Structure 1
Amino acid sequence: MAASEQLEVELKFDVDAGHSAPDLRVLPGVIGATEPETFNLDATYFDTENLDLAGNRITLRRRTGGHDAGWHLKRPAGAPGTRRELQLGFDEAPADGEVPTDLISPVVALTRTRRLIPVAAVSTTRTVTTLLGADGQAVAEFAEDLVTAQSLLPGGHFQEWAEWEFELLGNDPHPRLLKTAEKTLRAAGGREPSSTSKLARAIGSTPTVVEPHLGKRPSALELVVTDIAIHRNSLVTQDPLVRTDADDAVHQMRVACRRLRSVFSGFPTVLDAERTDHLGGELKLLARILGDARDSEVQLALDENLLRAENASESLIAELAGTETAIHDRAIKAAHAAMDSDRYFALLDAIDELIASPPPGPDADLDATIAVDRAIAKSRKKIRTEQSVLSSLTEGSEEWAEQLHTIRKRAKRLRYSTDAAAPLDKKRYRKVATIAKRVQSALGDYNDSRINRARVAEIAGSGKLSGPDMFVLGRIDARQQADGQRAIDAYRKAAKDL
């Protein structure tokens, strides 16, 4: 049985030891409570020597006692007080006590090749009261904890404290339950917690990752490093989702790679090129590997779209989509293998090192706005050059179609350059980005129709299908031809503003 994940929504308060808790049966949606039950919980927390998990507000522990004994991985879920908790029972974990692979995989983009070691031992005497709703179902859990913790880090110390935790249960709590519980518990003596988790309090300060941001008048180097940090965070966020083949994750991770590359190529003199060129090459390789999986995803979606509102036979469905699933599975396995390699982890280390200590190029001190203006002007000039080449080609020819694809790639780079300026919050950059996106989207739609028509022609020429299936293929081809023409019209309209 695989690890199970749930969303954890809870409140936490520091409180004096032995302080009496209020009667929470007065909360909205609560009509009763179970008798308090006391457990002894013993947990060992694991992290790298650098505290890569704790620095990202993640906890990984092995805990005995209570109803959920086993391994737990807790990660932020976006909203304050909300975390995703991945659980694995001892009967499903390695018998040797090693950290289970199922819990390493979601955070391996942070831990990489670094060893996970015990960093804290926490013992808790927990008294739990379960609050019940009108139907007798559990709606919340209130825990009164007496905690003793020993840091296992060099120079670590021993601590004792008391705290209250209030956690929502079930899928449909009363809308005012959490907010009213917070007011009630604060009024009863609950205080702002000194740490976000028992681990954080046990080990003290950690190198917490700070979201990148810019000052009022940033330099080109500050803008570039901020943008790299944003896309690095996106890449790391998508990593565990790609490992589970989550919807759109491959696409988003590939976009993060491309955006990182666009920063290096769009602002080549802001960073020392001799020290960053290899990063662009590694990101290009990773994007290509992810691209194989992404292309198969796109083709599966295109195949489904082609068959919309059509009375297609099983034979035609098999011809269009039958082999694509197997291709996708192979591509995903190849992506996972690449993401488990030392080369991938070395790339992530190199990006982190660059963010921490960026090697300045000759234009590092240039005003960020000037650097962006130059990058946009250079990109637009390249697009206009490619458009000039397009005008010399015969419309509808293979060369003409390939040139449109080249213009699409140039538009995408322009869009990425303007997106890099998003932290500057300037209207003129957003306008250029919008135009570039329209051009990119229109030419992407045209390219899809072109690929689809070639695919339809190939299947039609195979001689495997019946007359009715050939008729359906003819309808699909006509629809794709019309879609392609609409895309070209949209491109020409948008391209006027480039």
Structure 2
Amino acid sequence: MAASEQVEVELKFDVDPGHVAPDLRALPGVVSATEPETFSLDATYFDTENLDLAGNKITMRRRTGGTDQGWHLKRPTDIPGARRELQVGFDEARADGEIPEALVTPVLAITRCRKLDPVAVISTTRTVTRLLGVDDEPLAELAEDLVTAQSLLPGGHSQQWAEWEFELLSGGTTKLLKAADKALRAGGGRSASSASKLARAIGSTPTVHKPRLSKRPTALELVITDIALHRNSLIAYDPLVREDAEDAVHQMRVSCRRLRSVLSGYPTVLDAERTDHIGAELKLLARILGDARDSEVQLELDQSLLRGENASPELLAALAGAETRNHDRAIRAAHAAMSSKRYFTLLDSIDALLASPPPGPDAELPATAVVDQAIAKSRKHIRKAQADLADLTEGSVEWQEQLHKIRKRAKRLRYSIDAAEPLNKKKYREIGAVAKKIQSALGDFNDIRINRAHLAAIVADEKLAAADMFIVGRLDARLEADAYRAVAEYRKAAKDL
């Protein structure tokens, strides 16, 4: 189903009903203004019984009237005063039909299996004046709204109010926005009492959990703060993975691994019996996402290797064709897993953990004491793995697998230290930097190892022409040299651990 998305940047003000807006034609860059035009807008807003969308500052509505009637989904952005608006017109989805899938999918990580029902109806009499620049370029719109809202929640009531909305259009600038803010406040506008019409209609709602650290945080405070951070990251990347956005699979996988690393790296801070199942589910989800991510990495590596080579279509197909098919299958598997009840149950379990953390035996210890203990334990495990590596024949399969084990342990150390970032300790950052270098070098080595195995399989298949076989040999030699460099970088970094 076709949908369009844009970022809207607007100002919102409360005003007294009937108060006339000031003339904005004197604002910087404005040459003229259109005649005011009045519309009647009728909107029905949807949310879950728990108001999950409102709690995340998201609105979903079906609106008739005006120039953009249809289904709308508005979500926050990192830009102050800006929101992403996804629209599906009534030519694509009926006004009296079900909510379009294009609006439901981006918020599945928030709504999960919960039903979306009407929570408010809002009618607006809107008078719009458009500000124009040179050559009638649209700069901004001023909407003077008279609003009548009816909450459909238990105990909800109706209310009326007036407000102004000033929205930048394609030619608008930050300078114009600042000038409009000043002029509208001088003309009688007051800071908006609510972020949106829906928020004012239904009143207070639960909000996303944002724990705060005290000046001398306990281990439990630190761990819960980090879990909340990565939970929010996981939720943020979910819709991006569903739309196959660049690097989204990688970032969502990292969020899973970081969440799991906090649980495994600080096992005595929370009650393990009540959190082990979360770690196991996160491990499974990371593995599913990992299949897609690994194929992405191999595709990128293949493309970089072939750059400048006169490869035949057959070699291109042998290198990238199978990997592309693998990636497509892995993405479909990830999407299926992310639409399953099991996935939504995992998200519910993380939210329940944040809302009511089950303390472990070390929960009330100072955060620094527990971090020091976790770092010491991780470094000990890495050094043990390095000692075992020394007993293996360099280049053997067992030796390569041991390097992979060291990489995973370095990553666990790094994530444990990242959790301690709010403590702002220089010694933690220094150790974390070393762990990152080890992880990065051995990660490169592992990617190279997988790609060399892929090249070996292509050669064993004996279907390529002699010229292509020569290219494959040259690619393998380059990868072998890269592998030596990666191991050298690891050894250099390991001296500082």
**TM-score, normalising length from structure 1?**
0.98
Task: Tell me the SS of whatever aligns to 1:494.
Answer: helix
Aligned runs of 1:159-170 on 2, under 5 Å?
A: 159-170=159-170
Aligned runs of 1:418-457 on 2, under 5 Å?
A: 418-457=417-456
The 1:418/1:209 distance shift into structure 2, 3 A limit, reads same
Quick check: 1:72 aligned with 2:72? yes
Counterpart-to-counterpart distance in 1, 2:144 and 2:77? 24
Counterpart-to-counterpart distance in 2, 1:161 and 1:149? 9
Q: How many Å apart are 1:271 and its aligned residue?
A: 0.7
Counterpart-to-counterpart distance in 2, 1:210 and 1:354? 11
Counterpart-to-counterpart distance in 1, 2:341 and 2:95? 27
Greater CA deviation, 352-361 or 299-308?
299-308
Counterpart-to-counterpart distance in 2, 1:418 and 1:370? 13
Is the contact between residue 113 and residue 345 of structure 1 (CA under 8 Å) also seen in structure 2?
yes
Deviation string, structure 1 residues 420-462 (Cα, Å, up to 9, x no partner)? 1112121111111111000000011111222222222222232
Q: Which ranges of 4 or more aligned residues in structure 1 deviate by more than 4 Å?
A: none
Counterpart-to-counterpart distance in 2, 1:195 and 1:125? 19
User: Which amino acid is 1:283 matched to?
Assistant: L
The 1:113/1:155 distance shift into structure 2, 3 A limit, reads same
User: Which amino acid is 1:80 matched to?
Assistant: P
User: Which amino acid is 1:225 matched to?
Assistant: I
Deviation string, structure 1 residues 289-310 (Cα, Å, up to 9, x no partner)? 1111111111111111111221
Q: How many Å apart are 1:94 and its aligned residue?
A: 4.8
Q: Which residue of 2 aligns with 1:84?
A: 84
Q: Which residue of 1 aligns with 2:120?
A: 120
Q: How many Å apart are 1:96 and its aligned residue?
A: 4.7
Q: State the number of aligned residues.
A: 497
Counterpart-to-counterpart distance in 2, 1:402 and 1:220? 34
Q: How many Å apart are 1:162 and its aligned residue?
A: 0.7
Quick check: 1:328 aligned with 2:327? yes
Counterpart-to-counterpart distance in 1, 2:332 and 2:450? 25
Is the contact between residue 29 and residue 174 of structure 1 (CA under 8 Å) also seen in structure 2?
no
Counterpart-to-counterpart distance in 2, 1:99 and 1:455? 45
Counterpart-to-counterpart distance in 2, 1:94 and 1:238? 29
Q: What percent identity do the matched residue pairs reach?
A: 73
Q: Which residue of 1 aligns with 2:151?
A: 151
Counterpart-to-counterpart distance in 1, 2:210 and 2:75? 16
Is the contact between residue 142 and residue 166 of structure 2 (CA under 8 Å) also seen in structure 1?
yes
Task: Tell me the SS of whatever aligns to 1:135.
Answer: helix
Task: Tell me the SS of whatever aligns to 2:496.
Answer: coil
Q: How many Å apart are 1:44 and its aligned residue?
A: 0.7
Aligned runs of 1:134-283 on 2, under 5 Å?
A: 134-170=134-170, 172-283=171-282
Is the contact between residue 390 and residue 404 of structure 1 (CA under 8 Å) also seen in structure 2?
yes
Q: How many Å apart are 1:106 and its aligned residue?
A: 0.7
Q: Which residue of 2 aligns with 1:398?
A: 397
Q: Which residue of 2 aligns with 1:491?
A: 490
Is the contact between residue 420 and residue 428 of structure 2 (CA under 8 Å) also seen in structure 1?
yes
Q: How many Å apart are 1:395 and its aligned residue?
A: 1.1
Counterpart-to-counterpart distance in 2, 1:213 and 1:298? 37
The 1:96/1:15 distance shift into structure 2, 3 A limit, reads closer
Q: Which residue of 1 aligns with 2:107?
A: 107
User: Which amino acid is 1:56 matched to?
Assistant: N
The 1:402/1:349 distance shift into structure 2, 3 A limit, reads same
Deviation string, structure 1 residues 55-89 (Cα, Å, up to 9, x no partner)? 11100011110011111000001111100000011
Task: Tell me the SS of whatever aligns to 2:357.
Answer: coil
Counterpart-to-counterpart distance in 2, 1:47 and 1:355? 22
Is the contact between residue 28 and residue 176 of structure 2 (CA under 8 Å) also seen in structure 1?
yes
Counterpart-to-counterpart distance in 1, 2:452 and 2:344? 40
Q: How many Å apart are 1:471 and its aligned residue?
A: 2.2
User: Which amino acid is 2:244 matched to?
Assistant: D
Q: How many Å apart are 1:210 and its aligned residue?
A: 4.5
Q: Which residue of 1 aligns with 2:34?
A: 34
Quick check: 1:358 aligned with 2:363? no
Counterpart-to-counterpart distance in 1, 2:154 and 2:97? 23
Q: How many Å apart are 1:324 and its aligned residue?
A: 1.6
Q: How many Å apart are 1:95 and its aligned residue?
A: 6.3
Q: Which residue of 2 aligns with 1:482?
A: 481
Unmatched tracts of structure 1, length 5 or more: none
Q: Which residue of 1 aligns with 2:412?
A: 413
Q: Which residue of 2 aligns with 1:302?
A: 301
Greater CA deviation, 175-184 or 200-209?
175-184
Q: How many Å apart are 1:232 and its aligned residue?
A: 0.6
Is the contact between residue 209 and residue 354 of structure 2 (CA under 8 Å) also seen in structure 1?
no
Counterpart-to-counterpart distance in 2, 1:463 and 1:146? 75
The 1:342/1:318 distance shift into structure 2, 3 A limit, reads same
Is the contact between residue 28 and residue 174 of structure 1 (CA under 8 Å) also seen in structure 2?
no
Is the contact between residue 41 and residue 65 of structure 1 (CA under 8 Å) also seen in structure 2?
yes
